[in-house]
Structure 1
């Protein structure tokens, strides 16, 4: 059933009921007013007849029949068509005339305040009792049928029923017409939604407001739904691209270590008589290839997580605590490395805790593995401080440094120098997480010594708990071959050109 039809039927039922309800209220008010008019008339008649009633009682007391007969006529003329009864102090009825109750025993006693209703033999009467004072006391009763107002009440009742019957079809037709006009914009919106091309998206559904709050809210809700659909469709497509890229990269990069492992296994199978030294060398190669496979798969998984992370994963956190945890983990995994930290008690940023741990683990691991000279223990210095609206993290080592011409290439996917033990994805992960957090990564040289310094600038959390800016619209780090490191907060001096270090990559 259409909305306009529902509204018309509802109005057709409700309006007559409202008319009947209002009619009942009006009927009660009219009945009360008519009774008040009857009571007022009785009181006026009593005031007009009372002097003649006193004279009548005095004539009756003194035994003057002619005067009494004359007063009978005057009293009856004064009360017109109302019923009247006059009784002397000794209980004898002096005058009786007009319509009145058949049972005098039901008459109210003198002293009753105002007219009252008396019922006798199925009839109701309005009775006014007036005590007569003077030399000849008595009681005056005036009567009028309580049903005297019934014809007027019946007329009002009939008119109310007539209006209720007429209001049903009239209100239904008017409601149908008005509801049809009111829902026209909804029908137009429905037709536009039905004809919408799914590929056109939310932009094709944009419409000018019609100044009907409900319709405009519905149009806005449909537009938002389409926008969320587009966003989810894009994220799904990106997830599929990420999965395909993961498979492609994994199959390409794992081919070499797998072939090497197959060769070593063939050697072990074909030459069971190898010397212990040769066998140990082949097993060592197998272990290295296995470690490289595991490291590569872990790095690819981290890149995929960064490409698919949602904004809901971000929140306020303490960067100083994360740095302290990451340094402790590196010291545990590399007991020969010498690490030092300079951290504040607390420094809050708005970020993804798992992503920041990926960034820190790869920065520190890169410095430990590549930031030292041959036969020397790695020395890594970590410092975190607040500088303006940023949290500035610096990681210094004492290695050979990075040449200026390689400052961009070290962040590319699978880029590492020949013979490097890394996967070529460590600094790519650092660049990815920096971009996700609105940060900037720069490469330089430590103060007063050789080596490399990698600096990361992350926006501090707002005092009101403000959120991170929108995530990058395009996140395809696992599929593209380059990954620039500079983020939105890089500033004018993003990459100093004074470092002298060979290629680095993360573990």
Structure 2
């Protein structure tokens, strides 16, 4: 059932019930008002007949029939259409006339306000008045409660008539108003049904309807479409990354695998190979295996950087990461002279695994390439802040990098001829710097000797809300494919 039909049906049922309820309340109020008016008339008539009733009781006690008859006529005339009953103190009935219950015992004995007396389906309002004086007694004024019945019946008929008319009229009016009110929803539904999934959120731009609920629904649909577009982009990136990973792996692994197969063929074809030559072949196999393992690890890490989610970012103490990386470098390369300078704490908003990769690869590159021939590397690490940025510098005293080749060192699979690495270490550094909205550059070291790498990252400010994430999913990130546009 349509929403407009549901609203119309509900109104058709509810409005007559409300009218009946209001009518019942109105009948109660009218009945109370009529009863109050009747009670007021009884009080007025009681005040009018009370002197005559007192004179009647005095005449009855004094044995004056003529006066008694005159007072009786006067009382009946003043009582109008009300019943009257006058009883002396000894219980003798002095006067009884007009409408009244057949059983006098039903009349209340205690004086007070009008009370309701019922007898055989008849209803009476009875006012009891004590008559004081030389000849005491009791006066009752009796009025049929049904005297106001026609007025109540008229109100009751009108309420029922209004209820019967309210059902169809309110239903039709509600149907028209409901269709008018749901027009914006129907338009929004048609727009959503006609939407091309390939167009995405950009094609869904409904105008403002000035109806809060409809505008909120349209906004929700746009948000869902935007999230769908973002997820679709992420899915495409994931597929592209998977394809590039397999392509790069198959291309770059061909050389070490071919070399390993050649060495294995040599070992298989010459089981009596001299021990020295066999050891040399085994060393080549181990070197190719290490290169193969390093290449796969670097490709996997590069793919993780391309697909990292914003939920992985959090406040990080970069000083701790630098200290840990320096300790690990000293453990693996005890011959290296490594110095670290910087504050005890420098906080950034970033991906912890990615920042560890960045620092570790910078130190690893300095250890491998930053030393003169036949001399251990001398590496200097500095960490500090400049304005709103964190500055990390790693300097060495190696042969340095020619100015024309400095930008190329961050390219994928760029290696020096004598480099034992995969050619992806500095690519990972550049990738992580970009993911953290930072930059990385390389220049000459102090005195023009060696290389100096500088990484700048945004500093985590105390007044900056953490919802300002550094990664935007809409940004194309395809470092694995080599395209960083």
In structure 2, the partner of 1:46 is: 46
Number of equivalences: 482
Q: CA deviation at 1:145?
A: 1.8
**Structure 1: how far apart are the matches of 2:200 and 2:438?**
32
Tell me which moved more, 12-21 or 444-453: 444-453
Aligned ranges for residues 282-297 of structure 1 at < 5 Å? 282-297=281-296
Pairing of 1:264-343 with structure 2 (within 5 A) = 264-343=263-342
Q: Identify the residue that residue 132 of structure 1 maps to in structure 2.
A: 131
> Match for residue 468 of structure 1?
469
Aligned to 1:406: 405
SS at match of 2:17: helix
The correspondence for 1:478, drawn from 474, 477, 480, is 480
User: What does residue range 315-464 of structure 1 map to in structure 2 within 5 Å?
Assistant: 315-448=314-447, 450-464=449-463
Aligned-partner Cα distance in 2 for 1:217–1:52: 80
Quote the offset at 1:334 in angstroms: 2.2
Supply the distance in 2 between the matched residues of 1:395 and 1:52 (Cα, whole angstroms). 125
- Equivalent residue runs for 1:73-112 within 5 Å: 73-110=73-110, 112=111
Partner of 1:492 in structure 2? Answer: none
| Structure 1 gap segments, 5+ residues each | 485-507
TM-score normalised according to structure 1 size: 0.92
Q: How far apart are 1:252 and its partner, in Å? A: 0.5
Quote how far apart the aligned CAs of 1:448 are: 4.8
Does the 8 A contact of 1:398 with 1:449 survive in 2?
A: no
Matched ranges for 1:171-186 at <5 A = 171-186=170-185
Match of 1:37 in 2: 37
Give the CA deviation at 1:461. Answer: 1.0
Contact 1:359 1:433 in 2 (8 A): yes
Tell me the SS of whatever aligns to 1:402.
coil
Q: Is the 8 A contact 2:112 2:129 kept in 1?
A: no
Q: Distance in 2 between matches of 1:447 and 1:341?
A: 16
Deviation, 1:412, is 0.6
* TM-score, normalised via structure 2 length: 0.96
Partner residue, 2:220: 221
Aligned to 1:115, what secondary structure does the other structure show? strand
Distance in structure 1 (CA, Å) of the matches to 2:105 and 2:12: 54
1:257 aligns with 2:259: no
5 Å-filtered alignment, 1:140-155, equals 140-155=139-154
Q: In the alignment, does 2:169 pair up with 1:160?
A: no
Equivalent residue, structure 2, for 1:26: 26
8 Å Cα contact 1:316-1:465 kept in structure 2: no
CA RMSD of aligned residues (A): 1.5
CA apart distance, 1:152: 2.0
Question: Structure 2 CA distance, aligned partners of 1:422 and 1:85?
Answer: 126
3-state SS of 1:159 partner = helix
- CA drift of 1:470 comes to 4.5
In the TM superposition, residue 79 of structure 1 has moved relative to its aligned partner by 0.3
Aligned to 1:114, the other structure's residue is in SS state strand
Cα deviation code 1:270-308 (max 9, x no counterpart): 111111110000000000000000001111111101111
Aligned to 1:503: none
Q: Which deviates more from structure 2 when the two are superposed, residues 440-449 or residues 208-217? A: 440-449
Question: SS of the counterpart of 1:139?
Answer: strand
Contiguous gaps of at least 5 residues in structure 2: none
